[in-house]
């Protein structure tokens, strides 16, 4: 009997069905699992640890390019085949509804398995109990629209016989996840051809499937554990840090913003156990650097760091300043102060209360000051928001608001995985947004009232900036959607 075995007629029937299966997987079945692995490798960073529940013969798990792989299945004969098929992974006879582990898995996969589970809510609830706040649950299940074709394939011998199953819809799965204290981050319909291999398959599944999501073979769901109490981010070494012990670093990139430097200090509320300011200046033609040095001297009671960036662009400035930050929460405050510094505690609260792991400023909800944003800029911002919401699978209304907040732990993970996208973004906004999506972090907009500048003019050219943003949209689409 499997570890922690549950007793039910349905569970026994499923176990007996797979224990008695003697034929190896067909080439089509293997091709289907290679196809799933292609999409899972987009969702899961390569330095991750993965547990697959209901791993079967290990065909999916062995094709994942990750650091550590463990599979469990209630069928002993399937696990024996998996150990032979994939000796580089660890396989255990166990049931997902009762399996316990002391390991902190970053990803748990339930692939084409939930339709055979007697009580899916119980399975999800148990997996929730074995997770930490940074765990991600990845589920994929077949599109119910394909049920007749799968049944026909089984009659024709192109698909192996199946035990009695449920055919849950995507909405069914989302509801069951919610009931089991999981929060859905995003869903991704994938593939019009249900196997991997050949030019035609790649052409259709890569370029056509993303624009015909209703007809795709399978749907992926990414979920995170709901946070039920106010706490800090999960630290891999320190565990949970209490909210009272949280520290905050506010990074202020500044170029030609001399008139706003002192106000950034005086208007920002105290946050956490302590708040540090990191001013990083970027080749100003006015006296911004001198003003930064002055406030550093005249506010000795505050925790202030000052530096000048070594290259160009806000993205470089943010990366260099984040490298020097000591706080548990990292924040960007644009030195033009059009995002009022008084509203920064909202971002910290959103993370500590578990509403998100990446707080993104949004200027497009409330009415803004008359001169805060030009009409064409408004249209462009709204258009990019719609486009990126589709690309990332999460609602993001304003991609270009400079205020973005996340934990230092998650930023370090983004930096470690930056090679997937590369350092292509001179603004820094998309580097962080794409990186957060790559780690499957929950992104949430924080609405703010956008204010007029009181000093200086914008450093961004709308036309060259717009063309650069368009190139980044195309780049992101190739990395995230058309894969």
**In CATH, what number is assigned to the domain containing residue 94?**
3.40.50.150
Helix or strand (DSSP H, E) at 110:
strand 107-111
The predicted-structure confidence for 335-365, as pLDDT tens digits, reads as follows 989 889 999 999 999 999 999 999 999 888 7
Contact 435, 422 (CB under 8 A): no
The yes-or-no verdict on residue 15 having pLDDT over 80 is no
Q: Are residues 216 and 246 in the same domain?
A: no
Q: Are residues 188 and 320 in the same domain?
A: no
pLDDT band at 479 (very low <50, low <70, confident <90, very high): confident
The predicted-structure confidence for 235-245, as pLDDT tens digits, reads as follows 555 566 677 78
Q: Are residues 182 and 310 in the same domain?
A: no
Q: Are residues 179 and 314 in the same domain?
A: no
Domain extent for 347:
234-480
Contact 233, 308 (CB under 8 A): no
Mean pLDDT of all residues in 60-82:
95
1 within a domain of the structure (yes/no): no
pLDDT at 239: 60
Mean pLDDT of all residues in 101-107:
89
The yes-or-no verdict on residue 16 having pLDDT over 90 is no
- What b/e string do you get for 392-402 counting C-beta neighbours within 10 Å, with b at 16 or more? bbbebbbbbbb
**In CATH, what number is assigned to the domain containing residue 376?**
3.90.550.10
- What b/e string do you get for 130-139 counting C-beta neighbours within 10 Å, with b at 16 or more? bbebbbbbbb
pTM across the whole model: 0.88
The predicted-structure confidence for 261-281, as pLDDT tens digits, reads as follows 999 999 999 999 999 999 999
Q: Are residues 220 and 242 in the same domain?
A: no
The yes-or-no verdict on residue 188 having pLDDT over 80 is yes
pLDDT at 104: 85
CA-nearest of 220, 42, 61, 29 to 142 is 220
Helices (H), 329-407: 344-352, 375-392
Contact 96, 72 (CB under 8 A): yes
pLDDT at 240: 66
The yes-or-no verdict on residue 455 having pLDDT over 90 is no
333 within a domain of the structure (yes/no): yes
357 within a domain of the structure (yes/no): yes
Mean pLDDT of all residues in 95-118:
91
Rounded Cα–Cα distance for residues 52 and 110 (Å): 6
Q: Are residues 253 and 207 in the same domain?
A: no
């Amino acid at each position: 009997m499997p570890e922690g075995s549950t007793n039910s007629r349905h569970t026994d029937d499923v176990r007996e069905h797979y224990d008695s299966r003697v034929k190896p997987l067909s080439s089509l079945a293997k091709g289907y699992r290679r196809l799933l692995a292609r999409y899972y490798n987009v969702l899961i960073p390569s330095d991750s640890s993965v547990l697959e529940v209901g791993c079967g013969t290990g065909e999916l798990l062995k094709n994942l390019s990750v650091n550590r792989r463990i599979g469990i299945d209630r069928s002993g004969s399937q696990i024996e085949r998996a150990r032979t098929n994939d000796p580089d992974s660890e396989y255990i006879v166990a049931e997902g509804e009762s399996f316990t582990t002391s390991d902190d898995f970053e990803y748990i996969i339930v692939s084409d398995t939930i339709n055979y589970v007697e009580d899916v809510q119980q399975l999800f609830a148990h997996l929730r109990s074995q997770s930490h706040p940074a765990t991600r649950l990845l589920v994929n299940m077949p599109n119910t629209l394909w049920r007749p074709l799968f049944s026909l394939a089984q009659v024709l011998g192109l698909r192996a016989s199946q035990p009695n199953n449920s055919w849950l819809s995507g909405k069914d799965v989302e509801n069951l996840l919610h009931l089991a204290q999981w929060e859905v981050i995003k869903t991704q319909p994938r593939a019009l051809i249900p196997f991997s291999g050949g030019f035609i398959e790649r052409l259709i599944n890569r370029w056509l499937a993303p624009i015909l999501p209703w007809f795709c073979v399978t749907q992926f769901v990414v979920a995170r554990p709901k946070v039920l109490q106010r706490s800090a981010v999960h630290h891999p070494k320190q565990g949970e840090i209490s909210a009272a012990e949280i520290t905050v670093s506010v990074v202020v990139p500044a170029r030609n913003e001399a008139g706003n430097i002192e106000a950034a200090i005086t208007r920002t509320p105290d946050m956490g156990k302590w708040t540090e300011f990191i001013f990083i200046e970027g080749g100003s033609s006015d006296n911004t650097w001198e003003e930064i040095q002055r406030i550093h001297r005249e506010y000795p009671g505050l925790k202030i760091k000052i530096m000048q960036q070594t290259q160009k662009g806000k993205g470089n400035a943010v990366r260099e300043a984040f490298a020097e930050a000591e706080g548990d929460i990292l924040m960007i405050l644009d030195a033009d102060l059009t995002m009022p510094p008084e509203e920064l505690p909202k971002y910290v609260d959103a993370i500590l209360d578990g509403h998100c792991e990446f707080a993104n400023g949004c200027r497009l909800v409330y009415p803004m000051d008359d001169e805060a944003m030009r009409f064409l800029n408004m249209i462009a911002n709204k258009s990019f928001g719609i486009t990126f919401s589709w690309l990332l699978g999460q609602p993001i209304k304003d991609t270009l608001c400079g205020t973005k907040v996340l934990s230092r732990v998650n930023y370090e993970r983004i930096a470690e995985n930056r090679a997937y996208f590369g350092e292509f973004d001179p603004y820094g906004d998309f580097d962080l947004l794409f990186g957060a999506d790559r780690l499957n972090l929950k992104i949430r907009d924080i609405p703010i009232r956008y204010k007029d500048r009181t000093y200086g003019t914008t450093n961004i050219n709308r036309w060259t900036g717009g063309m650069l943003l368009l190139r980044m949209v195309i780049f992101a689409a190739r990395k995230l959607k058309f894969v």
